[in-house]
A and B are shown apart, each in its own frame.
Chain A
Amino acid sequence: MTSPNHEPAIKFRNVSYQFDGGHELLRNLDLDIQLGETLVLLGRSGSGKTTTLKLINHLLVPTGGEIRVQGKSTVEWDVIRLRRSIGYAIQEVGLFPHFTVARNIGLVPQIEDWSSDRIQQRVEELMQLVGLDRQLASRNPGELSGGQRQRVGVARALAADPPILLMDEPFGALDPITRAELQREFQGLQQRLKKTVVFVTHDLREALMLGTRIALMEAGKLVVVLTPDEFLHSPEALVKAYVDAFGTDCKK
């Protein structure tokens, strides 16, 4: 699925990122992320996938090249506006411990000055969408299970209805059963909402299940971008290594 004028939602042009000290975390990345697709960044720790993600919402600034979001370079965007139009969900979730669930979810609407009625309505809507019991709205994050917290995180990322969603191993810290549950639900959610999603993971099964395309990264470089089907049948050495490592139970 591509946008009307075939302009990718997010475009990486020869992007490099180097730490203030020398070590290059990312080298010469060229990548197009199409509107409405779920692009999975797959790779080991240190492959550069989280770095790539954070370059999109300008939490990191590229040392070389350019990232274009919705046609405009991230350097030209007003940082705050850019970030508020992108949902961000991380593995640790980072819920505000001193805010209730409702207040956490309603954060971006609140800083965007929505009316309190509108915020409340949206929070209720979202809690239902991500499968959270209404009663939990007045609870604090400390009282929730890991799975519930992650659902709040996703709801919070979706609150202002951003066109783009960035997710950094959101289900990585959960037990396998909860993880599978959330993956399935997210899949359903994606089909309904049709957001442009960039999803970081090191888990091939998750990538095959959730991704429209999979971008395999290694040591700061993009290796290949393939559909899940292509990925399973690719002769590329690194891809095969990945598939073998995960065993033959890789099914979509």
Chain B
Amino acid sequence: MNVWHFVAQNHVEILELTLQHLWLVLASIFFAVLIGIPLGIFITRHPAWNKPVLGGANIIQTIPSLALFGFLLPAPWIGARADRLAILALTLYALLPLIRNTYTGITGVDRAVVEAGRGMGMTDRQLLFQVELPLALSVIIAGIRVAAVISVGLATIAAAIGAGGLGEYIFRGLAMVNNQVILAGAIPAALLAILADVSLGWLEKRLSQAK
């Protein structure tokens, strides 16, 4: 039978794995946004921290994902549940694009606009929330988009440590030397990545037009 028959026959399991996959990605992006955006804002206010923060996030990026999953296994509490571990690792990988895009988004705001705002007596908070963040938003969303697409791909590796997701099928298929099984995992994963890319790309475009 071909891939589509296989998918139709196993659609329940595939759907389950897709939802697991989605859960891993969404949770990690959520945490990456929660940590990354404030960090990005922080380094715009404290430029001395620029190099260490961006450098640190960069280094995390260079660690091979399977290795990172492996390193974190012995960690208490985190290592105990595979999905927690996967979410932590995915969050770490999503940090760099988020911190970096928040930073470049904010510093990319027209200097004259910031100067005018400061000169008129806006507090730093007012400047941040009324001027800098709104104007940096489309760049920040671009960062989320990059992080999401990377996450969808990386989350397939999570299956190697038992965290579930579409990677399950890919690894299973590799073990069975069965292409259909591999594709049944890979195609939905690819579709998810495309979906994330397109929907966030649309959002990014909408926001940059609103200026």
A residues neighboring B (CB under 8 Å): 57, 59, 79-88, 90, 92-98, 107-108, 111, 142, 153, 156-157, 166
* B210 x A98 contact (CB < 8 A): yes
> Which A residues touch B121, using CB under 8 A?
79-86, 108, 111
B134 at interface, CB cutoff 8 A: yes
> Which B residues touch A142, using CB under 8 A?
211
* A94 x B115 contact (CB < 8 A): yes
* B131 x A111 contact (CB < 8 A): no
* B119 x A88 contact (CB < 8 A): yes
Known A96-B117, A98-B211; contact A90-B112, beta-carbon cutoff 8 A: yes
* A57 x B116 contact (CB < 8 A): no
Contact of B112 among A80, A84, A86, A93 (CB under 8 A): A93
Known A59-B118, A59-B119, A83-B118; contact A92-B112, beta-carbon cutoff 8 A: yes
CA–CA, A79 to B121, complex, Å? 8
B199 at interface, CB cutoff 8 A: no
* A90 x B135 contact (CB < 8 A): no
B2 at interface, CB cutoff 8 A: no
Q: How many residues on chain B are close to A (CB under 8 Å)? A: 20
* B122 x A111 contact (CB < 8 A): yes
Closest 10 CB pairs of A and B: A94-B116, A83-B121, A84-B121, A92-B112, A88-B119, A94-B112, A94-B113, A97-B211, A80-B121, A98-B211
Interchain residue pairs with CB less than 8 A apart (9): A59-B115, A83-B119, A94-B110, A94-B117, A95-B116, A97-B110, A108-B120, A111-B123, A142-B211
CA–CA, A108 to B134, complex, Å? 18
CA–CA, A81 to B116, complex, Å? 15
> Which B residues touch A107, using CB under 8 A?
117, 120, 122
> Which A residues touch B135, using CB under 8 A?
97-98
* A156 x B115 contact (CB < 8 A): no
Known: A95-B116, A111-B121. 4 other contacts (CB 8 A): A80-B123, A83-B119, A90-B112, A92-B112
> Which A residues touch B115, using CB under 8 A?
59, 90, 94
B10 at interface, CB cutoff 8 A: no
CA–CA, A85 to B121, complex, Å? 8
Q: Mark B102-134, 1 if CB is under 8 A from A, else 0.
A: 000000001011111111111100100011001
> Which B residues touch A98, using CB under 8 A?
134-135, 210-211
CA–CA, A89 to B121, complex, Å? 13
